[in-house]
Amino acid sequence: MKVSYHGHSVVKIQTDKHTIVIDPFINGNGQTDLKVEDLKVDVILLTHGHNDHVGDTIQLAKQNNALVVAPFELATYLGWKGLNVHPMHIGGSHKFEFGTVKLTQAFHGSSYEEEEQKIIYTGMPAGILFKKEGKTVYHAGDTGLYSDMKLLGEFEDIDLAFLPIGDNFTMGPEDAAIAAKWIKAKTVVPMHYNTFPVIEQDPKDFVSRLSGKTGKVMEAGESIKL
């Protein structure tokens, strides 16, 4: 499969038959190379309801007739918006035709701002383990460091992991480096930084904290073959 990074927390996975996008925040994302109108996807995976993750999901799902997989409350809400949804929750995995999805814990919030001064609660936030073609990709979503990440290192064989390093809302570089050690991924890519002033970080500083060649900064549009 081919995995590409598109700024903030946007990750695209292309398998031999399907295109999957995680957290497609495109309009308003100054770090992305994508355009909503041009993006062809079969599946949208969402970690939580915040607008910098749900992003352009509604338009994208409608223009592509794509399936949206998300934590239950968020999936239910998007289902009411007319999207084709598959709800899941933390600890659960499901084998889809496009690959196997398992939701992991994430310590964060989850809500959707439909209009000003109206916050809709969208359940617990999650991380995503995606498995296909014998490979495992981990997208941590938005989260602080938590010790059960050690379980991912113990029980999963993660080929490629995306960890937030922006600080303020999520782990900063120091904590993300600890997470990287615990999850034991072969390659770790920083995400969720430089999109807003409060999450400005030097991704190379994060990479320098990791052992060997584990860390890799991906530019928007860059891809890795697994």
Is residue 8 a contact residue for Ni ion (CB under 5 A)?
no
52 lies in the site for Mn ion, by CB under 5 A: yes
> Judging by beta carbons within 10 Å of its beta carbon (0-12, 13-18, 19+), is residue 29 exposed, middle or buried?
buried
**Of 42, 56, 73, 142, which one interacts with Mn ion (CB under 5 A)?**
142
- Evaluate whether 12 touches 20 at the Cβ level (below 8 Å): yes
Helix (DSSP H) and strand (DSSP E) numbers for the chain? 6, 15
Q: Is 73 near Mn ion (CB under 5 A)?
A: no
Name the minimum Å distance from CB 44 to Ni ion: 16
Q: Which is nearer to Mn ion, 15 or 47 (CB)?
A: 47
- 131 touches which of Mn ion, Ni ion, none (CB within 5 to 8 A by kind)? none
Helical ranges in 32-164 per DSSP H: 51-54, 57-64, 72-80, 149-155
Under DSSP, the state recorded for 197 is G
50 touches Ni ion (CB under 5 A): yes
Q: Which is nearer to Ni ion, 88 or 226 (CB)?
A: 88
Q: How far apart are the first and last CA of the chain?
A: 5
Site for Ni ion in 139-158 (CB under 5 A): 142
| Nearest to Mn ion of 46, 210 (CB atom) | 46
The window from 43-51, 68-76, 115-123, 202-210 that contacts Ni ion (CB under 5 A) reads 43-51
Least separation in angstroms between CB 58 and Ni ion: 18
Nearer to Mn ion (CB atom), residue 49 or residue 99: 49
Tell me the sheet residues that pair with 129. 102, 138
Q: What is the 3-state secondary structure (H, E, C) of 130-171?
A: EEECCEEEEECCCCCCCCCHHHHHHHCCCCEEEEECCCCCCC
List of residues contacting Mn ion (CB under 5 A):
52, 142
List of residues contacting Ni ion (CB under 5 A):
50, 142
